[in-house]
Amino acid sequence: MMSAPTTLRDNSATELGAGMDVGCSVSAFADTPGGVHLLLLNSHCSSTAWSVTPDTLVYNGAAIAGERDDPGATTSLWENLVQHAARNADVNTYTYFGSPTGWRGRIGRTTSINALTCYEWECNVTIDTDHRWFAVRGEGRGSVSTGLYLDRVGRTTGWTEGTVSGTCVDIQTPISGQTTKWYKCVNTVGAQIGQGDSGSPVFYRSGDDAVTYYGSAFATSGTTTTVSGLYYASSYVYSPLSNIEADLGYTLTLTTATTVGTPTITPGVLSSHAYLSGYGVTVTNSPDVATYTVWRQLYNGPTQTITENWTVVGTTTSTSFTDTSIGVLAATPLTTPPNPGTTNPGASVSTARYYIVASSFGTSSSGSGMVYYKISNGN
């Protein structure tokens, strides 16, 4: 059984996601066109930037991946009438030793976004136990505009958010010992970054858990501040996904298509309460178990009115649920009109109506069929 990480800096768990600590921060899990499982990191985090050493990544006391791609100069640019060898992206890849089913397409999610400024010991890096991962559902290869809100997750300053402040800028890397490294047409974001955040996945949130991957953070932008031996800055530079792929020479698959089956409810009665069971579903390509959301509507038969519109009355990972908030009159659920089942009972019968939606890793199922229970007219 894999142990779930509790923080982005947890190096004793046997699960790993983008944004977590391997010295720098993991940028992404991805697959090559041929199906090779890769980890993406920053080239400058390796022993020798722009060169395959090869390095080995160690996590939880074991070697998990070996360096695969780290090309030399792939392009050039002009600065002050001088031509410089350059790369499009600060990225290298590692071949994963194994088959990380369900790992591709996930980014560590903390319990909250950090403030504009925080330092390592005060930045929130605690993983949310209810929503452990952002799910990568899109790959952002197009150009971006200034003002676009982008998020980033890294091992030092956790989850930060800010707007794109510069697009397609050429920079000389400010990383100590690598001042000869130039990068072409990269983007900047006005949000904090700290030492150790190199490699942080940069993404756009399109839903609560669903995100579009835009690239990999690799350098500070503007003035840096050193606190307790670590440097911080209020803005950062990231390599766009299209630049990463240009340097690697192939297209990456970063998303994972999670599937969640549709629940089917077996209705019952337990101590005069509606008891729903048997609705477990099959989930594929997800590191998380299914969560079930129970919806209820109350209908008054004599007045033919809805007295409670569809309301969530429970969220659970269990495959059974008892609604103790109201009582039901019948000893068994209604099974045939007008004393229900899967079709609407007669208009004069007051009923509690239920359906369930299953979800996992940012994907939701279709709703189950409705089941009905006879209730008193006062409900």
* Amino acid identity, position 267: P
Q: Domain extents for the chain?
A: 21-248, 259-374
Q: Looking at residue 209, what is its pLDDT? A: 82
* CATH code of the domain occupying 259-374: 2.60.40.10
Q: What does the alpha-carbon distance between residue 193 and residue 199 come to, in Å, rounded to a whole number?
A: 11
Q: Give 322-360 pLDDT, tens digit per residue.
A: 999 999 987 667 654 444 333 455 677 888 999 999 998
Cβ contacts of 122 within 8 Å, gap of 6 or more = none
Q: Looking at residue 101, what is its pLDDT? A: 53
Distance, C-alpha 90 to centroid of its chain: 22
Cβ–Cβ < 8 Å for 284, 258:
yes
Q: How far is CA 226 from CA 25, 125, 218, 230, 232, in A?
A: 19, 20, 17, 5, 6
Q: What does the alpha-carbon distance between residue 356 and residue 278 come to, in Å, rounded to a whole number?
A: 11
Q: Give 8-47 pLDDT, tens digit per residue.
A: 998 776 678 899 999 899 999 999 999 999 999 999 999 9
| Residue with the two structure tokens 């756009």 | 204
Q: What is the pTM of this model?
A: 0.80
Cβ–Cβ < 8 Å for 178, 44:
yes
Neighbours of 367 (CB within 10 A): 15
Sheet holding 230-233, edge to edge: 193-194, 230-233, 224-227
> May I ask the CATH class of domain 21-248?
mainly beta
Q: What does the alpha-carbon distance between residue 275 and residue 20 come to, in Å, rounded to a whole number?
A: 41
Neighbours of 133 (CB within 10 A): 25
Q: Where are the alpha helices (DSSP H) in 225-295?
A: 241-248
